[in-house]
């Protein structure tokens, strides 16, 4: 192991790494260009208080390491994972990268998590609630984390993802933590063409959100549908928006007032006639 790496590992936490990373990957693509590496390492070393006299030498060493044959990036790109591994401890690394390893299936799954950890239904995830999420996350990945470390990691995640610094996470902050994939509804043309096509799309859409296969959308299934619908017209919505739109949707669609949206109710709502 080269000495530059030995010196560096463990001295930067995930929040510190993220701060530098964001300067280079502002829109969170997950990689930077190879030609940005010099500047990136420069920033890291300066952040760590490396003596100016040896910065250049260390930048060169770090670059040698990342460009080693097995690490060579495709299309001149260097992935966040490659760089995070250089600087962070295993757990800190995990905090930044677990979302890439285990992406969510759908907004329904996302909303299940949101409802579960927003335990007091405040429309926000507080630090205490985030801590519970992280504890379960580490447990789920069979990692034992002492309580003190859990506090530290909660602080780290808040530093990274609590954008407006009010000490709590909104819906779109959690969506970033969990790296929710592309909106399912984006694949459909809403100005749909033939009736047949619209019916086929409708079947696909309903099946996607009716995860429990009950023939009705209930609980987080409604939430997931509402979230994706709203985000077709608005880039990201808050927890309060979601609750408001959920209520509006139910008011319009839930004809039999059972708190669920049956398939026939949704079809009616979307102006479609389907055979039951």
User: What is the closest distance, in whole angstroms, from the C-beta atom of residue 52 to Ca ion in the complex?
Assistant: 36
Question: Which regions of 61-136 does DSSP assign to beta strands (E)?
Answer: 77-79, 125-126
- Asked if residue 158 lies in contact with residue 166, where contact means CB atoms within 8 angstroms, the answer is no
User: Nearer Cβ to Ca ion, position 190 or 207?
Assistant: 207
Give dist(CA 62, CA 161) in Å, integer: 28
Given the rule CB under 5 A, which of 14-22, 73-81, 103-111, 254-262 is the region that contacts Ca ion? 254-262
Query: Structure tokens of 276?
Result: 């039951």
User: What is the closest distance, in whole angstroms, from the C-beta atom of residue 77 to Ca ion in the complex?
Assistant: 31
Q: Which of residues 180-209 bind Ca ion (CB under 5 A)?
A: none
Q: Does 223 bind Ca ion (CB under 5 A)?
A: no
Give dist(CA 50, CA 54) in Å, integer: 7
User: Nearer Cβ to Ca ion, position 72 or 119?
Assistant: 119
Q: What is the CA radius of gyration of the chain?
A: 23
Per 3-state DSSP, the chain is made up of helix, strand and coil in percentages (nearest 5) of: 65, 5, 30
Q: Does 254 bind Ca ion (CB under 5 A)?
A: yes
User: What is the closest distance, in whole angstroms, from the C-beta atom of residue 227 to Ca ion in the complex?
Assistant: 16
User: What is the closest distance, in whole angstroms, from the C-beta atom of residue 40 to Ca ion in the complex?
Assistant: 27
Candidates 131, 198, 227, 260; binder of Ca ion (CB under 5 A) is: 260
Total number of residues that touch Ca ion (CB under 5 A): 16
User: What is the closest distance, in whole angstroms, from the C-beta atom of residue 97 to Ca ion in the complex?
Assistant: 22
Candidates 92, 201, 210, 241; binder of Ca ion (CB under 5 A) is: 210
User: Nearer Cβ to Ca ion, position 166 or 191?
Assistant: 166
Candidates 90, 166, 191, 196; binder of Ca ion (CB under 5 A) is: 166
Q: Does 27 bind Ca ion (CB under 5 A)?
A: no
Query: Structure tokens of 195?
Result: 């009736």
Q: What is the helix (H) or strand (E) element at residue 168, kind and residue range?
A: strand 168-169
Candidates 162, 201, 223, 241; binder of Ca ion (CB under 5 A) is: 162
DSSP state of 184: G
- Asked if residue 55 lies in contact with residue 42, where contact means CB atoms within 8 angstroms, the answer is yes
Q: Does 120 bind Ca ion (CB under 5 A)?
A: yes
Q: Does 214 bind Ca ion (CB under 5 A)?
A: yes
Question: Which residues, at least 6 apart from 10, have a Cβ–Cβ distance to it below 8 Å?
Answer: 88, 89
Alpha-carbon distances of 191 from 8, 158, 188, 194, 264, rounded to whole Å: 55, 41, 9, 10, 21
Candidates 212, 232, 240, 252; binder of Ca ion (CB under 5 A) is: 212
Per the listing, tokens 């459909």 go with: 188
User: What is the closest distance, in whole angstroms, from the C-beta atom of residue 18 to Ca ion in the complex?
Assistant: 16
- Asked if residue 168 lies in contact with residue 125, where contact means CB atoms within 8 angstroms, the answer is yes
Given the rule CB under 5 A, which of 38-46, 62-70, 198-206, 248-256 is the region that contacts Ca ion? 248-256
Give dist(CA 225, CA 257) in Å, integer: 18
Point out which residues bind Ca ion (CB under 5 A).
Answer: 118, 120, 122, 124, 162, 164, 166, 210, 212, 214, 221, 254, 256, 258, 260, 262
């Amino acid at each position: 192991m080269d000495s530059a790496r030995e010196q560096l590992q463990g001295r930067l936490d995930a929040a510190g790494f993220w701060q530098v990373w964001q300067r280079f990957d502002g829109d969170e693509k997950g990689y930077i260009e190879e030609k940005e590496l010099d500047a990136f390492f420069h920033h890291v070393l300066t952040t760590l208080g490396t003596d100016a006299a040896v910065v250049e030498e260390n930048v060169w060493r770090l670059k040698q390491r990342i460009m080693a044959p097995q690490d060579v990036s495709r299309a001149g790109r260097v992935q966040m994972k490659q760089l995070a591994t250089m600087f962070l401890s295993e757990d800190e690394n995990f905090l930044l990268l677990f979302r890439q390893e285990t992406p969510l299936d759908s907004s329904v799954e996302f909303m299940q998590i949101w409802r579960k950890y927003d335990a007091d239904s405040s429309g926000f995830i507080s630090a205490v609630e985030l801590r519970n999420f992280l504890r379960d996350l580490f447990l789920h990945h069979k990692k034992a984390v002492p309580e003190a470390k859990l506090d530290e990691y909660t602080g780290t995640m808040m530093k990274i993802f609590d954008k407006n610094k009010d000490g709590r996470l909104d819906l779109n902050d959690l969506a970033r933590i969990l790296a929710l994939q592309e909106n399912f509804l984006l694949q459909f043309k809403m100005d749909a063409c033939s009736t047949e096509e619209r019916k086929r799309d409708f079947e696909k859409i309903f099946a996607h959100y009716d995860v429990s296969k009950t023939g009705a959308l209930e609980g987080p299934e409604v939430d997931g549908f509402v979230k994706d619908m709203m985000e077709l017209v608005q880039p990201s919505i808050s927890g309060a928006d979601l609750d408001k739109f959920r209520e509006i949707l139910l008011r319009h669609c839930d004809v039999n007032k059972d708190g669920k949206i049956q398939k026939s109710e949704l079809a009616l709502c979307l102006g479609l006639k389907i055979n039951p």
